[in-house]
Structure 1
Amino acid sequence: MHIIKLNAIDSTSTFLRQLSGEKKLENYTVVVAESQSKGRGQMGTSWSSNPGENLMASVFVDVSFLAIHYSFWISMVTSLAISKTLKELYISNVKVKWPNDILADQKKISGILIENVIKNNRLQACIIGFGLNVNQGCFDNLPLATSMQMVSRKTYNLDAILKKVIDNLQIYMTQLKDGDFTNIKDLYEIELFRKEKPSTFEDAEGSLFSGFIKGVSKSGHLQVLIEDGVIKEFELKEVTLLY
């Protein structure tokens, strides 16, 4: 694992992607920054963080072994790696809110953004960007955000947390490379927030409906049991879980 530390950057993912285009990178090359001005989340959202208090990192991973229609599995193993790290450090009530927000006590503690490098319609590598709230004590105007310190009342070493995340990511990536899809999917579905609980959803048109999360498809679609016993699958932009 090769780590590049930066004081300030617009986006660790953007920096790492540009670097990967300039030279061949060692697998699990990591870029981590004290602060970033243009941190990105899913669907164009931003990720803000107090400088020096949280983890903002991106990691380059060779995923050339993975078929392109299995790209969501990268999200699964990344979610599991962060979830495992938090549980190992005794953070309570950790769950994965589909597709890959990590919650603690029903509040967001981590977000993930994955950018795939594709050539000739084949996966070559991915840039896994993640933000993990570690030592920040409060989040103004963000009532659904939390941090490891807010949950545990402890202060953490950011370098140690980063190493744990990358170590766990390598464990799950190895399982993925070995073709252990069933175990990975089972573990991910166990972690799903609101699984098998009555929940309210909003569709792309703004209409509300009720259902039960049952799991995810192999392509990463959310499977929801709705009325009349029908299980419907939703893509990322088609549905929002309200809580």
Structure 2
Amino acid sequence: MYIIKLNAIDSTNSYLKDLAAVSLPKDYTVVAADLQTKGKGQMGAEWHAEAGKNLTASVFKRIPNFKVTDQFYISMTVALAISTALSHFKIPQLRIKWPNDILSANRKICGILIENVIKNNQLQGSIIGFGLNVNQKLFENLPQASSMSVLTGILYDKDEVLAEVLKQLQIYFEILESGQLEDLKYKYESLLFRKDKPSTFLGADDQRFAGIIQGITETGQLQVWTEDDIIKYFDLKEVKLLY
């Protein structure tokens, strides 16, 4: 494992993308920064974190001989690994909000952004970026955000947290690479936020509707039993869970 530690950078994911554009980094090349000036989230959103208080890092994982059509299993693998790591630090009521935000009860403590490197229609590897709120106490204008320290009252060693996350990533990627896809999907759905509970959603047309999350498909679509008694399937940009 090769770890690059930086004081500040625009984006750890962008750093690894630039490396990968030249030649594929070594497996489990890690870039961690005390401050990201342009941290990225899902669908182009920015990730804001207080300097020095949180864990902002990206990991390059080589994934040879993996089907491009199965790439959502990478997302499941990462979400499960980080959730398991957090459980070791006694973070309560851990849930995965589709597709891969990590919550404690209904408070977001970790965002994940996975950017796959695909060349000639072959998956070469994945850049796994995550922003984990560790010791930050205040989240201005972010009422649904929290941190490990706020939840437990403990001040954490970020290097210790990173080490546990990397350990769990290795464990869960071994499960993925051994072909235990059904097991990963079952574990992921068991932690899925609001699964089997009546919920409100916002559709792509900005219309609200009620439904119950049933699970996900193998390609990562959210499966929702809607109020008109129809099972519908949604891609990431097609629906937002309101909570």
Structures share fold, TM-score greater than 0.5: yes
| Equivalent in the alignment of 2:67 | 67
| Equivalent in the alignment of 2:91 | 91
After superposition, residues 1-243 of structure 1 pair within 5 angstroms as: 1-243=1-243
Deviation digits for residues 93-120 of structure 1, max 9, x if unmatched? Answer: 1100000111112111000001110011
Gaps of 5+ in 1: none
TM-score normalised by length of structure 1: 0.98
CA distance in structure 2 between the partners assigned to 1:49 and 1:24 by the alignment: 28
CA distance in structure 1 between the partners assigned to 2:89 and 2:134 by the alignment: 11
CA distance in structure 2 between the partners assigned to 1:129 and 1:240 by the alignment: 21
Q: CA deviation at 1:22?
A: 2.7
1:224·1:233 contact (CA, 8 Å) conserved in 2? yes
1:65·1:177 contact (CA, 8 Å) conserved in 2? no
TM-score normalised by length of structure 2: 0.98
SS of 2:113 mapped into structure 1? strand
Q: CA deviation at 1:17?
A: 1.2
CA distance in structure 1 between the partners assigned to 2:125 and 2:3 by the alignment: 17
Q: CA deviation at 1:228?
A: 4.6
Q: Which runs of 4+ in 1 moved over 6 A?
A: none
Deviation digits for residues 68-115 of structure 1, max 9, x if unmatched? Answer: 001111110110011111111100111000001111121110000011
User: Aligned residues, how many?
Assistant: 243
14-23 or 213-222: bigger deviation: 14-23
Amino acid at match of 1:63: I
Gaps of 5+ in 2: none
* CA RMSD in angstroms, aligned pairs only: 0.9
1:133·1:147 contact (CA, 8 Å) conserved in 2? yes
